[in-house]
Amino acid sequence: MSDCIVKTENLTKRFGDIAAVDSLNMEISRGQVFGFLGPNGSGKTTTIAMMLSLIRPTAGKVYMFGQELSPEALMRVGTVMDTGGFYPDLSGLDNLLIFGGLHQPVGRKRLAEVLETVSLADRAKTKFHTYSMGMKQRLAIALAMLGDPEFYIFDEPTNGMDPEGIADIRGLIIRLAEQGKTVFLASHLLAEVEQVCSHLAILKKGKVVRQGAMEELLFLHGRSEMELSVANPVKTVAILFDAGFDSRIEGDLVIVTAHEGQAEAIGVCLAAEGIYPRGMTRAKSTLESVFLQATES
């Protein structure tokens, strides 16, 4: 069984003069929760549309499950896009029966299972228009889950949702990952992506500007900062200031703007003043700073 779930090869889409997606090379492997980030207009929706065969690339290819994109491959994909297509005056259950049944017959047992998983079992028979935004989105996820796909594509699943709804969706994505499913998640919520994704790609003007494992990207491309654990943070900040280093106190730590190569110089200037750090490590970045650094023009 191929471990490559999706591979794009020089994938390109032009709309007139605009290269919405520009020679995009990206690879998503089995079991990854893959975040797909980029500023507005960077080409995320266009890429997803090509992955789903909704629009035709101008150039390049999408491979899915190791083969060129095909209707059979797409049957193994669960997509969670928007909730606008559901019938407002039908119940969640009836909507699932109708839309789920478009592709394959839906078993009652599976219906009950997915409704339970998305915590909608007790509201399954109420009309869709009475659902909260979070419930509507969970119904869309239930629909995607019906055929037990191995690959899920989520496009902005938490758009406009409150923190509780966002946490629910996060929990569902984590559960899918625990079941060994592969998840592709396009989102603007960097903190969410940071919490759930194992891998990511960042797009800028149709091109991938960062791609890889989350942990690696947070260390490689983040701010250059060192964390010092010291007995006297206030004195330490003053000494570092005199030595030309920017620093600040965060809890018990002093955070210095410096790269690893400057660790020795920091140690020497502190030791000269009688301060010996208990620990000095490279600070991990936030996804926000990685994103801003990658996408600033």
| Shortest distance (Å) from residue 81 CB to ligand ATP | 12
CB of 14 to ligand ATP, least distance (A): 9
Q: How far is the CB of 43 from ligand ATP (least distance, A)?
A: 4
- Nearest distance in Å: CB 58, ligand ATP: 12
Cβ-based nearer residue to ligand ATP, 120 or 294: 294
To ligand ATP, the closest distance from the beta carbon of 205 in angstroms equals 9
Could you tell me which residues come within 8 angstroms of residue 134 by beta carbon, excluding any fewer than 6 positions away?
A: 161, 162, 164, 165, 168, 169
Residue 92 or 157: the one with the smaller Cβ distance to ligand ATP is 157
Q: Nearer to ligand ATP by C-beta: 20 or 111? A: 20
Q: Nearer Cβ to ligand ATP, position 42 or 137? A: 42
Contacts of residue 213, defined as CB under 8 A and 6 or more positions apart, other chains included, come to: 198, 199
Instruction: Compare residues 237 and 294 and give the one whose CB is closer to ligand ATP.
Output: 294
Least separation, in Å, of the C-beta of 207 and ligand ATP? 12
CA-CA distance, 139 to 55, in Å (whole number)?
A: 26
Nearest CB to ligand ATP, comparing residues 32 and 42: 42
User: Which residues make up the interface to ligand ATP (CB under 6 A)?
Assistant: 15, 18, 20, 38, 40-46
Choice between 5 and 202, CB closer to ligand ATP: 202
For the CA atoms of 2, 5, 8, 9, the dihedral, rounded to the nearest 10 degrees, stands at -10
**Least gap, CB of 127 to ligand ATP (angstroms):** 29
